Amino acid sequence: MNTQQTSLASTGLHAPAANVTTTNTNTSVTANATSSTNTCAAANSTASTSVNTSATEQGNRDNTLNVTGPLHSGRSLSQGVDLKIKSKIWAEEYLDLGQLLFKSKIAKLQAVQGEDNSISFVQKEEKSYFKSMQQWTTAFHVFVAIYCEKLPMESPGLMKYMATIQKLSEDVGTKAALHYDEQFRLWRSENPNIMPWGKLNQELHSEALQMGLKSRLNADPTLKKQNQLFRAQQSKKGVCFSWNNNAGKCLRPNCNFQHVCRNCHGPHPRKLCKASSDTQKSNVQQRSKSEPTSAKNDKSK
């Protein structure tokens, strides 16, 4: 019995102990693997949740931008302008800028008789007159806002054009400046390619300068009188000598000179001028009075 127990103790009892140890080791490895797997899965789940949350927030921001539009807000300068007027501007047609400033002006109707004697009423277009350069500038700002909706690259030229008009107004007056603007845009409506906004038109600019200077001369009494004297002197140079020397008959087929009296600028030739004959008589009388007495006696002898 002792021998068998010893044998069993040496063999059988130790074997089960080894099996238990192995089982514990496997269980530990399995538990670690399961724990690691669960940890990774949890980490992946957390990362996936974070990504989904970030994507959701980005989507919400995009939707918010799409709904609210731009961050800035404000009324457009072209607000309230009729689409027909805008179409004329985009088509490079001439437009009375007053229509952009006086948008609330009540339209007037006029009766028009047709070929079949029918009567119809159409809107009467009345030209709007600017009372100041500030009014024109306000209207032109609206014009630029509408024009640049289709042609934004023209904005530098339009700004230079506006500066030209304002400079003319400062130098020679608003009337001359508005004349340049009106004639420029009329000319441009016929051929926009030869009338760029940013280029000064010398012909129209000279006309505006002359108009402004003439207006200022007439406004100043002293300058006006000097101008009249200058014109009188110039007109003497333009008198027709042929008409004066031939009793009112001009021998030139196309005469460019004035058919007026060379002495008094009256409507008669020089030989029929009463002022000239009176002057000659007075000159003769003065010469006769100035002659010495001895000379008169010699003549009497």
Residues contacting residue 257 through CB under 8 Å, at least 6 positions apart? 238, 239, 240, 241, 243
Distances (CA, A) of 92 to 74, 107, 195, 258: 27, 24, 11, 45
Q: What residue spans of 116-253 are helical by DSSP H?
A: 133-150, 155-172, 174-190, 202-219, 221-237, 241-245
Structure tokens given for 265: 């600028």
Residue at which a domain ends, from 185, 204, 219: 219
Domain hosting 259: range is 223-288
Structure tokens given for 66: 């799409």
How many Å apart are CA 46 and CA 44, to the nearest integer?
Answer: 5
DSSP state of 151: -
Give yes or no: residues 178 and 268 share one domain.
Answer: no
Q: Are 290 and 296 in contact (CB under 8 A)?
A: no
Residue 296 lies in a domain: no
Give yes or no: residues 160 and 96 share one domain.
Answer: yes
Residue 154: the pLDDT is: 96
pTM for the predicted model, two decimal places = 0.47
Residue 184 lies in a domain: yes
How many Å apart are CA 136 and CA 174, to the nearest integer?
Answer: 10
Residue 273: the pLDDT is: 84
* Phi, psi dihedrals of residue 79, rounded to the nearest 5°: -65, 130
pLDDT tens-digit profile of 69-101? Answer: 455 557 788 888 889 999 999 999 999 998 888
Give yes or no: residues 235 and 197 share one domain.
Answer: no
Exposure string (b/e) for 240-259, b if CB count within 10 Å is 16 or more? beebbeeebeeeeeeeebeb
Which residues pair with residue 258 across a beta bridge?
A: 239
Residue at which a domain ends, from 191, 219, 247: 219
Location of structure tokens 């806002």:
145
Residue 194 lies in a domain: yes
Q: Map residue 9 onto helix, strand or coil.
A: helix
Q: Are 82 and 75 in contact (CB under 8 A)?
A: no
CA neighbor of 180 nearest in space, from 204, 144, 200: 204
Residue 255 lies in a domain: yes
How many Å apart are CA 230 and CA 226, to the nearest integer?
Answer: 6
Residue at which a domain ends, from 219, 247, 276: 219
Residue 130 lies in a domain: no
Count: domains in the chain? 2
Residue 265 lies in a domain: yes
Give yes or no: residues 184 and 254 share one domain.
Answer: no
How many Å apart are CA 163 and CA 199, to the nearest integer?
Answer: 11
Give yes or no: residues 211 and 260 share one domain.
Answer: no
Give yes or no: residues 271 and 158 share one domain.
Answer: no
How many Å apart are CA 194 and CA 180, to the nearest integer?
Answer: 16
Give yes or no: residues 94 and 158 share one domain.
Answer: yes
Give pLDDT tens digits along the chain (301 positions). Answer: 444 444 444 444 444 444 444 444 444 444 454 555 555 454 455 545 554 555 555 555 555 444 454 555 577 888 888 899 999 999 999 999 988 886 544 455 566 677 777 777 665 555 667 888 999 999 999 999 999 999 999 999 999 999 999 999 999 999 999 999 999 999 999 999 999 999 999 999 999 999 988 877 776 666 556 555 555 555 445 778 778 788 788 877 778 788 888 778 788 888 888 766 655 555 555 656 555 554 555 555 4
DSSP state of 125: P
Q: Are 133 and 169 in contact (CB under 8 A)?
A: yes
Structure tokens given for 162: 């506006």
Give yes or no: residues 93 and 212 share one domain.
Answer: yes
Residue 298 lies in a domain: no
Q: Are 161 and 147 in contact (CB under 8 A)?
A: no
Give yes or no: residues 197 and 180 share one domain.
Answer: yes
Give helix 174-190 / helix 202-219 axis angle, nearest 10°: 160
Give yes or no: residues 97 and 181 share one domain.
Answer: yes
Structure tokens given for 22: 């192995």
Give yes or no: residues 192 and 238 share one domain.
Answer: no
Residue 64: Cβ within 10 Å count: 9
pLDDT tens-digit profile of 257-278? Answer: 888 887 787 888 888 887 666 5
Residue 196 lies in a domain: yes
Give yes or no: residues 142 and 204 share one domain.
Answer: yes
